[in-house]
């Protein structure tokens, strides 16, 4: 066949490696959030497939690969009876096309109907992919099962670079009498741009339209059908960047499976970026790359750019405000593995939006054909610890954060053979390889849910949306996902992101057959959370206030002292904030409780024990605490008077001060009369004076809250010579002087001195009368 640069032998084997979604429902659904009961989550795994192959620049060898569960099935080639086969889990079953099939696809013209459809059916879900191997011009694809097929497509391909090997779209019927309407985006073969026409297909029949001139491009062409059809697009042999032409083929996704958020991880070549094409399906679609607006596209328009030119482990983020289809191209370049450098060649792959990521993929490199094999993965950064390659963890140092996202990307070299990657949350996987100007590239599988249909996310029952929650108790928001006509959208991914007091909490679910899903999180912190529930381009927000019944943390009010202002509080947590009340007993006299704040203020007026029950209350419950204590009082002078002191006469002087708790006493200055002692515990002075004369002593009384000084003093009288003195009157008593100072001092020194002088005068008068 005619080729440019025939000195090169190139193989562009997009999707030539086997990819399987193992475990089906479990694999197609995030492990951390199982789908709601009854959910039907579509992916590249299934039991019923219709595929076809395209014309190749070189005579091809055609094969169908099946991998997945251990099961049995049949493959039906055109004009042949169903042929049985078996599969073994973890292995690839190869189904060779019968003689004559390759000639049939080589006879495929630029506009016509052909008998090239292939039907694969199995008992248990498997993944199917096709290989069109033409030696130096090859490609492959991952097939979509019949339940994931649609009736409305818009095609993304590449422009024709060689007139004889045009850009091509191919449609496979899955039911008899299916009417297919095609609207070319540009003039192709003898078809006029923008002019619709209809063909009728039976099951297994194929219609194909291709460009015949350099620059012809089927991209933007629409295909609509009266029943589900499988649509493929590519080019018989095309130049992408430098290098010779190669066959490229991808199975298209219906427009309702397109997305709005894409993370592209650069192919691991030694240098250079990757060409990227983006196709819009709706007018006014705003396209951004790494946050910057790069284009506004109308339906059928394409943006072309080269991204990730920085090289290394770089990534690009492509977003749109309406669903788009994205393809990433591999170009000729140098690839190194195990010390060996080899050259790649062009390949192209569709990139699924993150809404179509899965949590497990099994894939196989094309056995023995490529010295360089790698898989790029885009994993939620929070789940890097759960990511596994063939059951083993991967060093987080191999990942680089993708700016502006919660994902990280890695370029992982893998050995030739079958591999499995998994994580505890959905992630993207992209396999590719190179060898001596050959290459392959494919997305590692995808959910094929109709996320592009989503127009609205709303609560199932607006009156039943939770507005409050409690710590460590699950909060769930039931939502319904609908299309523009208000019809439920089944099987699509729905994401929850929490901001606020419990920021960072997430959940992922898939809608059930009624378009419903319940998104949940378990708050741990009190406060307000804003919950954003997103599916496709639609979202809804809900506010949840995490509340709790009151919990009182205060166990006592500390030391309370008579006469000393208090500023303490009963502390309690609870949302909403609780109110406070004394529900039993009483606070100490002089103190009051603020019902709103729990503050206890005032000045205690009475010493002694007390007990009060304080209760905190909010709408979620109550909590009570019994507070007890003993109001203290600093020592104060009692006004105790020292009686007449006479040598030889026993005397007891009561404690000169009192306080709560009981103070300790000490003579801190001067001295008591000889023969008298101070009881340090009780403050009582007692004994029998032994020596006459004047005396003065300062007694200090101290407890935990204060101290006071009391000054005692006076005259100790000599013993009387009269053995039978007359009984004194009350005025005869000659008390000692007493004074008090300190923190609670009673200043009575002057009064004591006056009484002492008066007593002495009375004694002199009495003696004078006795002599008379």
Instruction: Read off the pLDDT of residues 292-347 as tens digits, 9 standing for 90 and up.
Output: 999 999 999 999 999 999 989 999 999 999 999 999 998 878 899 999 998 877 78
pLDDT at 556 over 50: yes
User: What is the four-CA torsion angle of 67, 437, 106, 328, rounded to 10 degrees?
Assistant: 70
pLDDT at site 367 = 65
Mean pLDDT of the chain: 86
How do residues 451-475 score in pLDDT, each as one tens digit? Answer: 889 999 999 999 999 998 989 999 9
SS3 550: strand
H-run or E-run covering 764: helix 749-771
SS3 760: helix
Model confidence at 672, pLDDT cuts 50, 70, 90, reads very high
Selected residue with higher pLDDT from 767 and 111 = 111
Q: Mean pLDDT, to the nearest integer, of 603-610?
A: 95
Other CB atoms within a 10 A radius of the CB of residue 504 amount to 10
Which two tokens mark 54?
């395209």
| Percentage of the chain exceeding pLDDT 70 | 88
- Phi–psi pair at 738, nearest 5 degrees: -145, 135
> What's the rounded Cα separation, in Å, for the pair 333 and 693?
119
The pLDDT of residue 139 is 80
Tens digit of each residue's pLDDT (9 = 90 or more) over 419-441: 889 999 899 999 898 887 778 88
Report the relative pairing of strands 167-173 and 259-265 from DSSP bridges: unpaired
- What is residue 721's predicted lDDT score, i.e. its pLDDT? 53
pLDDT of residue 494: 93
Cα(148)–Cα(580) distance, rounded to whole angstroms? 62
Say what the pLDDT of residue 740 is: 45
Q: Which CATH number fits domain 454-546: 3.40.50.2300, 2.40.37.10, 2.60.40.10, 3.30.830.10?
A: 2.60.40.10
- CB contact set of 424 (below 8 Å; sequence gap of 6+): 30, 31, 32, 359, 383, 386
Matching CATH number, 549-631, of 3.40.30.10, 3.20.20.60, 3.40.462.20, 2.60.40.10: 2.60.40.10
Question: ∠ CA 458-462-465 to the nearest 5 degrees?
Answer: 95
Distant-in-sequence, close-in-space partners of 295: CB < 8 Å, separation ≥ 6: 278, 286, 287, 303
SS3 660: strand
C-alpha to C-alpha distance for 554 and 614, rounded to whole angstroms: 10
181 pLDDT band, cuts 50/70/90, is very high
Q: Are residues 685 and 653 in contact, defined by beta-carbon separation less than 8 angstroms? A: yes
Residues 181, 199: Cα–Cα separation, whole Å? 7
pLDDT at 40: 53
pLDDT(1) > 50: no
Q: What is the pLDDT of residue 728?
A: 40
Domain extent listing, the chain = 11-450, 454-546, 549-631, 635-771
Give the mean pLDDT of 12-18.
Answer: 39
Spatial separation of the C-alpha atoms in residues 517 and 515, rounded to whole Å: 7
C-alpha closest to that of 696 among 753, 649, 654, 738: 738
DSSP 451: G
Give the rounded distance of the alpha carbon of 93 from its chain centre.
40
- pLDDT tens-digit profile of 348-392? 899 999 889 988 888 777 767 788 999 999 999 999 999 999 999
pLDDT of residue 39: 45
pLDDT score, position 243: 66
Q: Which is nearest to 544 in space by CA: 623, 473, 457, 617?
A: 473
Going by C-alpha positions, the residue among 101, 102, 207 that lies closest to residue 155 is: 207
**Residue 16: pLDDT above 70?**
no
* Cβ atoms within 10 Å of 769's Cβ, excluding its own: 8
Residue 772: pLDDT band by 50, 70, 90 thresholds?
very low
Rounded-to-10 torsion of CA 747, 751, 754, 756 = -80
When pLDDT is averaged across residues 523-546 and rounded to a whole number, the result is 93
Residues 679-717 pLDDT 10s: 999 999 999 999 999 999 999 999 999 999 999 999 999
Residue listed under structure tokens 């001596």 = 436
CB 589 within 8 A of CB 605: yes
Q: Pick the most confident of 35-44, 87-96, 520-529.
A: 520-529
CB 481 within 8 A of CB 457: yes
Q: Which two tokens stand for residue 12?
A: 């562009």
Q: What is the pLDDT of residues 718-746, one digit of tens each?
A: 987 554 444 443 333 344 444 444 444 33
Residue 178's pLDDT is: 98
For the ranges 105-109, 611-615, 761-765, the lowest mean pLDDT is seen at: 761-765
Same topology for domains 454-546 and 549-631, yes or no? yes
**Is the pLDDT reported for residue 279 higher than 60?**
yes
Share of the chain above pLDDT 90, in %: 68
d(CA 226, CA 245): 36
Taking the CA of residue 42 as centre, how many other CA atoms within 13 Å lie in the half-sphere pointing to its CB? 22
Q: What is the CATH number of domain 635-771?
A: 2.60.40.10
Locate 37 and state its tokens: 């009961």
Which residue shows structure tokens 């741990």? Answer: 524
**Whats the size of the chain, residue-wise?**
772
Structure tokens at 605: 């007026």
Segment among 26-30, 34-38, 47-51, 90-94 with least mean pLDDT: 26-30
For range 238-264, the mean pLDDT: 88
DSSP secondary structure, 358-370, as one string: EEEEEEE--TTT-
Contact status, residue 166 vs residue 158, Cβ threshold 8 Å: no
| pLDDT value at 764 more than 50 | no
């Amino acid at each position: 066949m005619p080729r440019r640069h025939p000195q090169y032998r190139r193989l562009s084997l997009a999707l030539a490696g086997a990819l399987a979604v193992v475990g089906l429902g479990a694999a197609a659904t995030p492990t951390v959030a199982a789908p709601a009961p009854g959910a039907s989550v579509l992916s590249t795994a299934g039991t019923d497939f219709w595929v076809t192959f395209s014309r190749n620049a070189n005579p091809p060898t055609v094969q169908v690969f099946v991998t997945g569960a251990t099961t049995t099935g049949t493959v039906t080639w055109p004009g042949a009876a169903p042929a049985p086969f078996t599969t073994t889990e973890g292995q690839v079953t190869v189904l060779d096309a019968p003689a004559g099939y390759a000639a049939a696809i080589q006879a495929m013209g630029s506009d016509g109907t052909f008998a090239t459809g292939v039907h694969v059916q199995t008992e248990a879900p498997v993944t199917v992919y096709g290989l069109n191997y033409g030696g130096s011009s090859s490609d492959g694809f991952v097939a979509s099962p019949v339940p994931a097929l649609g009736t409305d497509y818009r095609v993304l391909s590449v422009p024709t670079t060689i007139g004889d090997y045009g850009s091509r779209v191919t449609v496979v019927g899955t039911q008899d009498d299916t009417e297919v309407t095609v609207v070319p985006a540009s003039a192709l073969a003898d078809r006029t741009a923008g002019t619709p026409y209809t063909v009728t297909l039976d099951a297994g029949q194929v219609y194909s339209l291709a460009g015949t001139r350099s620059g012809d491009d089927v991209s933007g062409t629409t295909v609509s059908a009266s029943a589900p059809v499988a649509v493929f697009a590519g080019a018989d042999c095309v130049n992408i960047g430098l290098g010779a032409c190669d066959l490229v083929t991808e199975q298209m996704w219906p427009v309702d499976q397109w997305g709005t958020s894409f993370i592209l991880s650069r192919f691991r070549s030694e240098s250079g970026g990757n060409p990227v094409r983006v196709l819009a399906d709706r007018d006014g679609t705003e396209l951004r790359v790494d946050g910057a607006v790069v284009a506004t596209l109308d339906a059928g328009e394409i943006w072309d750019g080269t991204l990730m030119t920085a090289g290394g482990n770089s990534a690009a983020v492509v977003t749109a405000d309406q669903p788009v289809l994205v393809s990433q191209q591999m170009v000729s370049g140098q690839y190194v593995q195990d010390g060996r450098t080899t050259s790649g060649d062009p390949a192209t792959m569709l990139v699924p939006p993150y809404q179509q990521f899965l949590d497990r993929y099994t894939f196989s490199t094309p056995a023995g054909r490529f010295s360089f094999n790698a898989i790029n993965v885009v994993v939620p950064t929070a789940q890097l610890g759960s990511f596994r390659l063939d059951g083993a963890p991967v060093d987080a140092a191999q990942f680089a954060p993708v700016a502006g996202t919660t994902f990280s990307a890695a370029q992982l070299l893998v050995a030739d053979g079958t591999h499995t990657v998994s994580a505890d949350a959905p992630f993207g996987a992209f396999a590719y390889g190179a060898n001596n100007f050959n290459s392959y590239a494919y997305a590692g599988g995808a959910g094929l849910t109709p996320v592009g249909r989503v127009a609205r996310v709303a609560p199932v029952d607006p009156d039943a949306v939770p507005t409050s929650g409690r710590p460590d108790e699950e909060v769930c928001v039931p939502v319904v996902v609908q299309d523009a006509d208000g019809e439920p959208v089944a099987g699509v991914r729905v994401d929850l992101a929490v901001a606020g007091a419990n920021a960072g909490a997430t959940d992922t679910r898939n809608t059930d057959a009624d378009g419903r899903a319940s998104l949940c999180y378990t708050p741990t912190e009190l406060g307000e959370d804003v919950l954003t529930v997103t599916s496709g381009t639609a979202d809804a927000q809900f506010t949840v206030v995490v509340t709790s019944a009151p919990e009182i943390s205060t166990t006592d009010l500390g030391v309370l002292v008579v006469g000393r202002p208090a500023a303490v509080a009963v502390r309690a947590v609870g949302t909403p904030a609780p109110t406070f009340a004394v529900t039993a007993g009483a606070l100490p006299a002089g103190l009051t409780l603020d019902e709103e704040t729990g503050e206890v203020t005032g000045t205690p007026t009475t010493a002694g024990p007390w007990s009060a029950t304080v209760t905190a209350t909010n709408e979620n419950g109550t909590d009570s605490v019994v507070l007890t204590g003993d109001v203290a009082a600093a020592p104060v002078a009692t006004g105790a008077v020292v009686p007449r002191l006479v040598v030889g006469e026993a005397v007891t002087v009561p404690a000169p001060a009192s306080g709560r708790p009981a103070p300790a006493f000490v003579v801190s200055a001067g001295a008591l009369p000889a023969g008298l002692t101070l009881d340090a515990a009780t403050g009582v002075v007692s004994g029998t004076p032994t020596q006459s004369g004047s005396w003065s002593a300062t007694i200090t009384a101290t407890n935990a809250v204060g101290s006071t000084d009391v000054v005692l003093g006076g005259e100790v009288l000599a013993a009387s010579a009269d053995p039978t003195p007359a009984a004194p009157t009350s005025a005869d008593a000659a008390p000692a002087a007493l004074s008090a100072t300190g923190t609670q001092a009673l200043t009575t020194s002057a009064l004591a001195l006056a009484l002492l002088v008066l007593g002495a005068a009375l004694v002199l008068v009495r003696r004078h009368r006795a002599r008379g």
